[in-house]
Structures are given as C-alpha cells and as structure tokens.
Amino acid sequence: MKRVSKKVVCGLAMAMAVLTMTTGDVKVSAAGFYSPSSKTQEQTKTQTQTQTKTGSSSDSYISKEKTPASTSSYLTTAQQSVLNKLDTDYSKVNWGVQYSPKGMDGIIISVASYMDGRYPYLLVAITNIYDEDVTFSATGYAKGKSGQEVADISFFEDAIRPGNTIAKSIYCDDVPTGEIHWDSIELPDVFEESSYWESDWTLTKDSDGYYKIDYTVSSNDYMNPGYVTTLLLNKYGDVVEVAYDYNVDKGYYVSGEIQFYKKEFDEKVVDVAMFTNPLKAK
C-alpha cells in the first residue's frame, strides 16, 4: 500500500506556529523483503564516520544553517533498494551510518548523532526488512574519541513489523564517535503480534510557549502503541531534538502528547519523523 502524506508547514518562527502532517500506515509489500531463514545470532561491531555540528541559539528561532552531517553506508544494493521502497519516516532522517549485523541481512542498524544544548546524544534505530515480525535484543556501548565507553546501549523490542523502525535516544557522557561495540545481538522468539498503524501529529506551542507534539495512532487492530518517538529535523534531515511518550492506552485510536520543554531550538525545524511499534492488545 502506498503511503499517503499530506503536509502543511506554517511559519515556525511565529509564537504559536503549527506544523501538521498526516501520515499513512507502515503497511508495505513483503515483495523484496529478506527471507527469515537467513536470521542467525551473531556478535558484531562497526565504526561510523558520523560528525556532529551544532548551531547557535536565536531569538527568532531560525539560526544559521549548518551543512549536513557526513554519512557512511555499509548496506548492499539489495538492502538499500528495500529501504528505498518503505513508506515510513525512515528516509526523512539523515543517518550517519547504516549497517547490518553479520548474518542478519534483514536487520538494519542506523545511527545519527546530535547535541541537545551542550549534551551529546546518539539516536540508534533498528529497522526490520525481513518478511515477518522479529524480536530484537542487543547490548553494547558507544565509544568516545579515545575508545572509552561513553554510553551503555540496550534493546529489547518484541514483534517489530516488517518495514517498521524503532528508535532510541541515548545520552552520552562524552562526545561519541558514532562507533558502537555490540556485546551481543540476538533475534529471540516472537511472542507478541504487531499491528499496522497510521498516525497524525501536530507540532505547536503550549500556553507557556514550550513546543509540544499532539499525536494520534490508529489501527484496524485493537492495539497498544507503547513507545512513541518523535524526531525534529532540519532541512537536511539531521536530528535537532528527540522526545518520546510511553503510551499504555489500548484501542483502535490512541492519542497522546509529547513535550519538548523548549521555547526555541538551535536550528530551524522543517519536519518531524515519528516511530512506534504498536502491538495487538490482549
């Protein structure tokens, strides 16, 4: 199913500016996906070429533009072809590095770095391009410039739908190089069942002038959205800010609010990417 996207961008520099978008579901054809028979349990580590640059604060909210972060991809042509066909928000993001663990061609690990003020973060995303739900479990750590550990990283996400992406923001004690050492990466048994979903969101300001996102997640299945992660992006697709909500509500239509606790950002925000992995509620 082709994703239908409608976007209205208003003047974000205005005090009560609104940025809205209606997204289609993440339902994608399994044609071209990887057979799950190639899944194995492996350990892997990789090095990225990611560089992070920051802008400066501006009372007008729009600061000087920065150049895009450098990127490195270790994907095959076939993997990239599958990613290019996904009707999700994955392609909105300028990922600093993309690769697969050894023996897991249907798992794409994507990493981007960003600064929240003076604090460094890594955004780590897991995309499933196998042709069935997978559970992803991994532990590792992010490295700094001297090879030191700057952040612990752990994932456990049951039943990631084919074509879907989960994303996690990770605070680092020091500036990360983007390199992640994985102690273990496994694809355990799947015990839950994922749901097709679609979402609407609105980026605006609350009564105190802080930015927030009001969102909805809907599905034909009775579902629970769990973590809902939103990324604010500049014109290059670089990450400006990340915030999330853990929504425990169940239903065919679930709504929530994500607060950013900022009245201005260091860069101009031109788009929002939203990631979640709703599971069928029991």
| Residue 259 β-bridge partners | 212
In the chain, what is the straight-line distance between the N-terminal and C-terminal CA atoms, in Å? 27
Provide the token pair at 251. 């239903």
Per-residue pLDDT of the chain (282 residues; tens, 9 = 90+): 222 233 222 222 223 345 544 333 443 434 457 776 556 543 332 322 222 222 222 222 223 345 555 578 999 999 999 999 998 999 999 999 999 999 999 999 999 999 998 999 999 999 999 999 999 999 999 999 999 999 999 999 999 999 999 999 999 999 999 899 999 999 999 999 999 999 999 999 999 999 999 999 999 999 999 999 999 999 999 999 999 999 999 999 999 999 999 999 989 999 999 999 999 998
- The fold of 6-26+193-275 is Immunoglobulin-like (2.60.40)
Check for a shared fold between 6-26+193-275 and 36-186.
yes
| Strand (E) or helix (H) holding 6 | strand 6-9
Instruction: Give the per-residue pLDDT at 103.
Output: 93
Q: What does the domain layout of the chain look like in residue ranges? A: 6-26+193-275, 36-186
Model confidence, pTM: 0.81
d(CA 230, CA 218) in angstroms, rounded, equals: 16
Tell me the C-alpha distance between 62 and 55, whole Å.
10
Q: Does domain 36-186 have CATH number 3.40.50?
A: no
Q: Are 213 and 258 in contact (CB under 8 A)?
A: yes
Position 231, amino acid: L
